[in-house]
Amino acid sequence: MKYIDHHAHMVSRTTDDYQQMALTGCVAVTEPAFWAGWDRSSANGVEDYFRQLTEFEPGRAAQYHIQHYTWMAMNPKEADDRELSRDVLTRIPKFLDKPTVLGIGEIGLNRVTRNEVDTYTEQIDLALTHRQLILIHTPHLEDKLKGTRISLDAMSGFPKLDPSRVLVDHAEEHTCRMILDLGYWAGLTLYPQTKVSPQRAADIVETFGPERICVAGACDWGPSDPIAVPRFIMEMRRRGHPEELIYRIVFENPVQFLSQSSKFRIRPSVAKELAF
């Protein structure tokens, strides 16, 4: 079955992972800007990373006929550094016209400090100014409910923000309802050890339905799985869900959200082929 992984940190993966994803049906990935595995010492380092996302990574993905898109942002783990964040934010606009950049992301909170909130809200404003989609990282806290609520409350201060143009990632059983009720998209992040397992993701879909829900592997520097989405597909099949429902979640839903950017285009040859 063809699928789109809307949240995959491919700069941290080997080329073999692209091959494995292609063999399991991946036709496109979108890569949010994130932490490099260590804190960077200057905005020049972050800008070089942006160049890697926009200039190098699309070619690496194309070797396996995977379309690569990306997002620009000051990531949550380094957002507490206000001096660095201010410098990075001045550099983001020049990347927004790049042909594979879909919006601002992933932005959000890590330890939920005042500095992080300031950087977060400045990037929401940046997205609105430049009419960009938004991808949000909700914090990894023991009290994830509180962290998600703070993230959502901050967006309420932007009355012009269209919730249908925002995807809130790392949703879980106890946060999905509040995200969906406010009109946002909910992303389920599939991890082998933390966040949501394929089994829990299937439970969430069965509880809340498929409307405005996407799943992604978000494979990154730590223990993670580049073919997490196919494992979700297998779990849904094991439970007897129809192929049309599974395809909606792993392909049609991300296409619906991402196509709000005029840059996101699934190749006609892919769109016309049999889905599964």
pLDDT in tens, 190-235: 987 667 999 999 999 999 999 999 999 989 888 889 999 999 999 9
Of the pLDDT bands very low, low, confident and very high (cuts 50, 70, 90), residue 144 is: confident
- Please indicate whether residue 142 or residue 61 has the higher confidence score (pLDDT): 61
pLDDT surpasses 80 at 175: yes
> Which has the minimum average pLDDT: 165-174, 246-255, 263-272?
263-272
pLDDT of amino acid 273: 55
pLDDT surpasses 60 at 91: yes
The Cα 249–Cα 101 span in angstroms is 23
Three-state SS string across 7-28, please? CCCHHHCCHHHHHHHHHCCEEE
Q: What is the pTM of this model?
A: 0.95
Of all residues in the chain, the percent with pLDDT exceeding 70 is 96
Type of residue numbered 248? R
Residue range 53-81: mean pLDDT, rounded: 97
Topology (CATH) of 3-272: TIM Barrel (3.20.20)
At 99-136, the pLDDT tens digits run: 999 999 999 999 999 999 999 999 999 999 999 999 99
Q: What are phi and psi of 73, to 5 degrees?
A: -175, 160
Residues 6+ apart with CB under 8 A from 191: 197, 218, 223, 224, 225, 228
Q: What mean pLDDT, rounded, does the chain reach?
A: 94
Three-state SS for 34? Answer: coil
pLDDT of amino acid 157: 95
Rounded alpha-carbon distances, angstroms, from residue 52 to 156, 190, 219: 33, 25, 17
Residue range 245-253: mean pLDDT, rounded: 98
pLDDT surpasses 90 at 164: yes
Residue range 47-59: mean pLDDT, rounded: 98
